Amino acid sequence: MPVCSFCKNAYEFPKGTTVVQKDSSVRYFCSSKCRKNMEMGRLTKKVKWVRKSDVVKAERAKYAASKASKE
């Protein structure tokens, strides 16, 4: 499962875009939204919706951990 280079979310393979650059570095994007934001030169830490998705991710991890401890 590739991890988006911009929003750091993991996504399923058929979705998203893989960009191989001239210096052979590979960038993975979960959506065109992430690709366009990266092309515009935006920083991940300064974009509100990425921070929001990080919060959601942390909450999901916490929920999964509590569920695993109950079982």
Q: H or E segment at 19?
A: strand 17-20
User: Residue 30 interacts with Zn ion (CB under 5 A)?
Assistant: yes
User: Residue 4 interacts with Zn ion (CB under 5 A)?
Assistant: yes
User: Residue 50 interacts with Zn ion (CB under 5 A)?
Assistant: no
Largest CA distance in the chain: 49
Choosing from 1, 2, 7, 23, the residue that interacts with Zn ion (CB under 5 A) is 7
DSSP-assigned beta bridge partners for residue 15: none
Residue 34 CB, nearest distance to Zn ion (Å)? 3
Task: Report whether 40 contacts 46 (CB < 8 A).
Answer: no
- Can you give the binding site for Zn ion, defined by CB under 5 A? 4, 6-7, 30, 34
